[in-house]
A and B are shown apart, each in its own frame.
Chain A
């Protein structure tokens, strides 16, 4: 249960890193455009976080159930939370994902 919650959180941080790597969302959250170096760093850390989240989820369930449930439910639900968060409380969304300007 704890592992799965942790994996959910990492999916959230990974997806919000990807979102923040885009100019529009970076402006929403921090009021400034994202530089090329920061984009690269956000994308890299985002991919690592997503891979770790997937790995943890698959490990805590089993391979078939884990892969399917992560792709079909964890990813979209967390993605919708990130999208809604960036729209209504952008700074807070970034803070929860441990991202500072």
Chain B
């Protein structure tokens, strides 16, 4: 414990902040991108066309025909209908061993889209589990634990930050770019933290609530003998059956027409409101078809779902969720923003970027404060290198991901993993570069590279001008956002050039 409460909080804020900021910048930055996950997928798939497809019966038939042909023995089918944001039919199936496969089809012709991609899904996976899937690690959901811990530390940093910052209201708008290096970055850090503070706190809190049961496994271990399914049946829905526990499939029996079942469901949801259909044990006597309502116009994650018997389409039940689940799913939906349309998504994107910028400026403040006239502690060099890599390096890695998506041939086998490999390799390269170069040069050079990557990304594969000709507004906005990011990185490149100001100069003179 330090001498006073404020000093203790300052210590906590800077040290907990430092170590977790390296993680948090990436989590917040990819989270801001993940708000537009459907648009990312759309941008990286030139085969997807922008027209809204209204013939939903045709789309369902197209999807079913594909599944009948390619996955007749699967235990589970999922057929996602085309929507405004993702105008394709998505089919997904899981075999006996639980391995899933996804394919995308053109809704009108039924043509398969060859290009495999994780698209926006990669940014979601990085955001909530640093891309460490539960399947990859025997120990458990390690990625989720790491991100959860970072989230809790961000809450701690928000609150200790309020204690440390004594002039919250007086310095609400105060930003002095011309002041000393430490002062001006501290101003930026304060402005970016205090004005959006309600958002920062709520986005972290709602993020933690989405996966609440994972952070303290002792609860499920002691009350449900470690069975997550038993917990889910009690907490979420009494009808929950995981695929592994499901009884064996019955004898073959033809399933009813799916468009007819979907019309029944849409009579209750509203026209065009079905998001996807799932089929358990399709074309078997015990087949069950479930229709799920869209999330686009409701603030909830647990959508309404209706189950039908596969062979004759009789309604089995409307799935009821417990009150606790309804509240949790409302809180989680505040985090997921599948509702509210483009305006809300842009708002989340911008304030999410402000949160990422808050973390980045915090890192710069940490080092600027310790670079005094008398020189800097020797370990600061290490901190500076990791700072550069975790901020500028991550921006480069994201841009490289988009480059790899554009440049990898569409028909490459196992294509979806390629851009991800490029993401992590380029990030590693940035860390090596930051370790070898002096900090100012590392910042400058990485920002220059990030600016170049962003400026060029829309033009790769001869795409850029096509978007202008076809007036594809979603892709055009995407291109424009790339250029704005390029301009911001270029601005930072020139800004860092001017900053070896007094304090650093003096330190260099002494050294």
Contacts and interface: CB of A to CB of B under 8 A. Distances in A.
A86 B173 contact: yes
Interface residues of B, number: 22
B378 interface: no
Contacts of B173: 15, 18-19, 22, 25, 79, 82-83, 86
A83 B347 contact: no
A79 B172 contact: yes
A80 interface: yes
Nearest to A72: B199
Given A77-B347, A77-B350, A83 B196 contact: no
B145 to A, nearest CB: 27
B177 A19 contact: no
B314 to A, nearest CB: 37
Interface string B192-223: 10011111001000000000000000000000
Contact of A83 (B191, B197, B202, B340): B191
A76 B351 contact: yes
- Does more than half of chain A's interface fall in helix, strand or loop, or is it mixed? helix
A86 B202 contact: no
A15 B191 CA distance: 13
Contacts of A25: 173-174
Contacts of A15: 173
B272 to A, nearest CB: 22
B348 A80 contact: no
B175 A83 contact: yes
Contact of B177 (A74, A75, A87): A87
Contacts of B192: 80
Contacts of B202: 72
B369 interface: no
A75 B195 contact: yes
Contacts, number: 64
Size range of the chain A interface in the assembly: 20 to 34
B70 interface: no
A65 B354 CA distance: 21
A80 B170 contact: no
Interface in B335-392: 340, 344, 347-348, 350-351, 354
A73 B199 CA distance: 7
B176 interface: yes
Interface in A15-32: 15, 18-19, 22, 24-25
Nearest to A65: B340
A43 to B, nearest CB: 12
Interface in A35-86: 65, 69, 71-77, 79-80, 82-84, 86
22 contacts: A18-B172, A25-B173, A69-B344, A72-B196, A72-B198, A72-B202, A73-B347, A76-B198, A76-B354, A77-B196, A77-B347, A77-B351, A79-B172, A79-B191, A79-B196, A80-B191, A80-B192, A80-B354, A83-B172, A83-B175, A83-B191, A86-B173
Given A80-B196, A83-B191, 14 more contacts: A15-B173, A18-B173, A25-B174, A65-B340, A69-B347, A71-B198, A72-B351, A73-B351, A76-B199, A77-B351, A79-B173, A84-B175, A86-B173, A87-B177
